[in-house]
Chains A and B, each alone.
Chain A
């Protein structure tokens, strides 16, 4: 499948910094993939995300080299308006991306800005609310929503623009475990139903590894590991970069070192339980 995102040798340094935030970064993401980006705080993840949706270089100036292409078009030579329709960005704090007084008006915000005619806005807002199951919240005010609901509203606002690539910046960091699991379920559904591509920065890998096609680990602005979640998590280096290896993986490694289960690179509790049962038998 064609690559929706291509990052070629991207380097970026903020004007007030002595160190580059991203160094010679390469990544190609085929359409419909879910790519998880992990790494310690300050490793350049946020900068990379901004470079993908065009905030860098359009809003943040700095030393920029290399190229980022979304759907074949260079981010550098595209306008923010154009990029806003191709790349959706769910920021970490949903509170700061809800602008209007009611849920439905906020979801419509981007479309209103684009000058989309009213009937079309209506149908796309309803569609986005339907995808996320928040139709009953349509007329609520932002302060009447829980964190999980705010997150969904913000995501609906992103989806209403019908982007092909969606960036999620630590989407579960403010959510309780149950709501976080629900959000991951939504991502899975959107990929399945609409073929959307996701670039996700996430620390809670246990939720996403089962879903992700690829795991990329960054450190000090560079890409240090890339592969399927199994390859990266069982490669042994991930922990050294501060990646929170899921508990299942750790338990399995311990059991395998004692010879209790074979090292089969299991990622879920179900898989591990099955392996233990078959070892007993």
Chain B
């Protein structure tokens, strides 16, 4: 699980890419995602990945993305082997395997450069109901709190003789029960307190709450968004009409 957190959890940054409007970052990641699905040869895929690496370099998250890529290879190896068994075609299997890496990178680029605050803003742009957005916000907000809770409970139970690291996999899973039960109980108590605090701060008072921060796409954001769409269109066009079809 740790590799996932490394590749998807936001850390504050000051790069030009970090400062882009979150909606533009979402657009770029979505377009990269779609492009990987349009790819029909390893050669084209290599171009797309090179582009992603360039974006990662601009965002100064190259090392983290590289780590995500390296760890994704476990999954892509499985994909490669399965495809090889089914299709018996080396290049198709490699394409699927590497495509998986590219898909993960395109999504992780969005998540590691976009703060939860900005994610909330993106959700609001899509006009998701306030309750849904707020549920998401609190869920993300309490991840570090619950992680700390878990560690504390684990320590407490270990000090009472619970051996978490012993036995086979079934045994280990079962060992987690004394950790999970207090964790769930804690969370239920916490949610009650949260509800009280929400009521006390007028949650749900008006249908359209206002917001302290305003995200306005700047002139630069618009240029980047336009460039991203243009690059996407050109790439898609060249995939189908310029570059020779090899595999699919």
Given B115, B190, B198, B211, which contacts A112 in the complex, CB threshold below 8 Å?
Answer: B211
Are A143 and B117 in contact, with the CB atoms below 8 A?
no
Are B115 and A125 in contact, with the CB atoms below 8 A?
no
Are A55 and B210 in contact, with the CB atoms below 8 A?
no
Are B141 and A113 in contact, with the CB atoms below 8 A?
no
Q: Give the secondary structure class of A's interface.
A: helix
Given contacts A105-B212, A142-B141, contact A113 B200 (CB under 8 A): no
Shortest CB-to-CB span from B152 to chain A, Å, is 13
Which stretch of A21-29, A114-122, A193-201, A213-221 is in the interface? A114-122
Asked if A81 is at the interface of the complex by the 8 Å CB criterion, the answer is yes
Asked if B78 is at the interface of the complex by the 8 Å CB criterion, the answer is no
Are A81 and B202 in contact, with the CB atoms below 8 A?
yes
Asked if B208 is at the interface of the complex by the 8 Å CB criterion, the answer is yes
- Please report the total number of A residues contacting B with Cβ < 8 Å: 44
In the complex, per-residue mask of B192-207: 1 if CB is within 8 Å of any chain A CB, else 0:
0111111111111110
In A82-136, the 8 Å CB interface with B consists of 84-85, 87-89, 91, 93, 95-102, 104-105, 108-118, 121-122, 125
Are B201 and A100 in contact, with the CB atoms below 8 A?
no
- Please report the total number of B residues contacting A with Cβ < 8 Å: 33
Shortest CB-to-CB span from A135 to chain B, Å, is 15
Chain B residues with CB below 8 A from A91, complex form:
193, 196-197, 200
Chain A residues with CB below 8 A from B144, complex form:
143
Asked if B5 is at the interface of the complex by the 8 Å CB criterion, the answer is no
**A-B pairs with lowest CB-CB distance, top 4:** A97-B197, A110-B201, A108-B212, A115-B206
Can you sample 25 A-B contacts with CB below 8 Å?
A50-B196, A58-B199, A59-B196, A80-B199, A81-B202, A84-B199, A84-B202, A91-B200, A96-B193, A97-B200, A99-B137, A99-B194, A101-B116, A101-B140, A104-B212, A111-B212, A112-B210, A112-B211, A113-B205, A114-B209, A115-B205, A115-B210, A122-B212, A158-B201, A161-B202
